Structures are given as C-alpha cells and as structure tokens.
Amino acid sequence: MNTRYYYTVLLLLFCYAVQAQTLRRGSYLGFTGGVGTAYISSQYNYGLPKMSVIPRTIYTAGAVAGVTLKGGHSIHSEVAFSWQSQQYQDIWEVEGLQVQVGKNLNLTYLKFPLMYRRIIGIPNGDMDIGDSKFFWGAGIEMAALYNAELDYTINGESDDFVFDIDFNPKVVNPPPNALDLFTIVDASVAGSFGWERFMSEHLVFQAEIKGAASVLDINPSKWRFTDDTGNYSPSRNMLLNFKCSFIFYVGRVERRDLY
C-alpha cells in the first residue's frame, strides 16, 4: 500500500470533519498504552525448519487524536510505538549432534492507525457526566519498522549458524544487520471493541481490545527462500492488544449535543 495514499486519506477525512460544522461535535487529544501478544504467521527461518513458539508479552504506547461526529460516529487516529517480542525453541540436529536451538526476535514499529468508530446503543438524553458506553471500530494501520533484533542460539549460546553459508547454502550474503531481514513498511487491517466513560465535561477514559493482521509479507523479496519442505509462505504480523486511553476534548462541548 502506498503510504502517501494513506496520509492523503487521513488528511481529507480530518479536514472534512473540521470543516463540516453541522456534523462536528468535538475534537480530542490524548495518550494510550497497553499490553498484548503477537504472532507471526508462517514463521520463517530462511530455508530451515520452523520452531515452536513461546508466547511473549508485547507493549504499546503513544498519542491519540480524533473527531467525534453526530450519531455516535468518530474518526480516531494514533501515533504509537509497538514493542513486539517473540521467542522460539526446538531440538535440531546440528553437525550430527542433538542440540537445543533458540530464536529471539524483537521488532519495534512506529504505528499509524486510522479507525472509524461507532458508539453502540445511544439513548436520547441521559448524557450526564459519568455516563458510559460501548463502541466498536474498524480501519487500517500503517507501520514503519524502527528497530529489529534477531538472535539465534545453540544450547543457550548466541550463534549465527542460520546465516552460515556452509550450514545454510541458501544464504549467499549474510545480512549486515537484522533490519535487512524485514520490510520497512507494513500494513494491517484492524478491528476493536471497547468501553468509554466520561469522567468530566472534558476528560474521558477508554478501554478496548484491538486486533490487527498484516496484509503484506514482512520478509523482503531477496530473503524469501523455500523452506525444508520446498514451499514458501508469506510471514505476517498478527496482534491482539488490551489498551487503555485518556482523552481530553478540546474546548467545552455540550454533552447532550455530543451525539
């Protein structure tokens, strides 16, 4: 997906919401953070067998902004860092010996989600401070790879055997660093379900569960080797997060006029 197209759509939607005074009911800023889990579908070992996954906790943190419209509709965007760790382990035969091999992968992404949100079951009236409601969301999420760390181990000791030309003949030129083993840009479809509560006329607390799945292969073309079965499958990020956010409505917005 062309990132310029994504930003153009984001800018047009924001400008439309700002200019359409008959629709706009409030704009907000805030911060968010959360924990979750990540999984890379079709885990990839550069032509060698796959390994068993050991789940690891991932973390996200960043800033949010959005515009609330009439009827409980809103456009929500974020700029957030995502620290995604995965660990793998298995028993292989290396140079005639049964050894415990491991793989530790750490990916740091800067993410730019753009979500449409819809409040569920908006009643007429009953909009006092303290009122709470559920919402759902759907959208797209662009991500830029900020840092990558990849460490293979044999019996707990670091060893780059996977990129050893003698051990893995599919590797012609070993990578200078882990960033070369992943695409810089990723794109995902995302969905969420959450709950919000007004704590004052301006301040809102939100909690949500958000899932995202890549639509792009995170392996660059020059590192797409067939595996030990003779097949190749694209690798994609799959994430599930529990997030909490505090948002602050800019300007005094009449609660009864919010939806």
- Using pLDDT thresholds of 50, 70 and 90, give the confidence band for residue 188: very high
Q: Which of 11-15, 81-85, 130-134, 200-204 is predicted least confidently?
A: 11-15
The pLDDT assigned to 227 comes to 79
Cβ atoms of residues 207 and 195 within 8 Å: yes
Cβ atoms of residues 138 and 115 within 8 Å: yes
User: Alpha-carbon distance 190 to 220, whole Å?
Assistant: 23
Condensed to tens digits (0 to 9), the pLDDT of residues 220-237 reads 998 998 877 788 889 999
User: Alpha-carbon distance 61 to 84, whole Å?
Assistant: 12
* CATH code, domain with 72: 2.40.160.20
Condensed to tens digits (0 to 9), the pLDDT of residues 153-175 reads 999 899 988 898 888 888 888 88
User: Alpha-carbon distance 98 to 140, whole Å?
Assistant: 44
Condensed to tens digits (0 to 9), the pLDDT of residues 66-124 reads 998 877 889 999 999 999 999 999 998 877 788 999 999 999 999 999 999 998 876 54
Number of domains in the chain: 1
The pLDDT assigned to 125 comes to 41
DSSP state string for 103-139: EEEEEEEEEEEEEEEEESSPPSS---TT-EEEEEEEE
Regarding predicted confidence, which is higher, 30 or 249?
30
Q: Which of 18-27, 87-96, 177-186 is predicted least confidently?
A: 18-27
Q: Which domain holds residue 234?
A: 3-257
The pLDDT assigned to 135 comes to 93
